[in-house]
Amino acid sequence: MSSQVFENEQWLLLVPDTGKGIAPEDHERIFEPYVCSNSLDNYCSESTGLGLAIVSELVKLLQGKIQLISKVGEGSTFVVSFPISY
């Protein structure tokens, strides 16, 4: 379930999951095409590695930013922020 927060003239979209989490060494590269986290071996065999890359590019096109907060064994939260234009 995602939630929305308005803060500092930004719209934040928080998308948490209860998966296995993503290892710190994979945090930056997980948004690259065809990349899968080493900490997600079972998932990687069924993934194209394109989902987060596509989301990341769409967020950038909309002048936003995407961040990952994750800890192996505890899940992840993706934070997407967009500027609020008046």
* Backbone dihedral angles phi then psi of residue 36, each to the nearest 5 degrees: -135, 140
Provide the number of structural domains found in the chain: 1
Residue 32: domain span: 3-83
pTM for the model: 0.78
Q: Is 66 helix (H, G, I), strand (E, B) or coil?
A: strand
The pLDDT tens digits of the residues spanning 23-35 come to: 999 898 999 998 8
Residues linked to residue 16 through DSSP beta bridges, in sequence order: 77
The pLDDT tens digits of the residues spanning 2-55 come to: 666 666 788 899 999 988 899 999 898 999 998 876 554 555 667 788 999 999
Q: How far apart are CA 10 and CA 71, in angstroms?
A: 25
For residue 46, the domain's CATH number is 3.30.565.10
pLDDT at 16 (0 to 100):
95
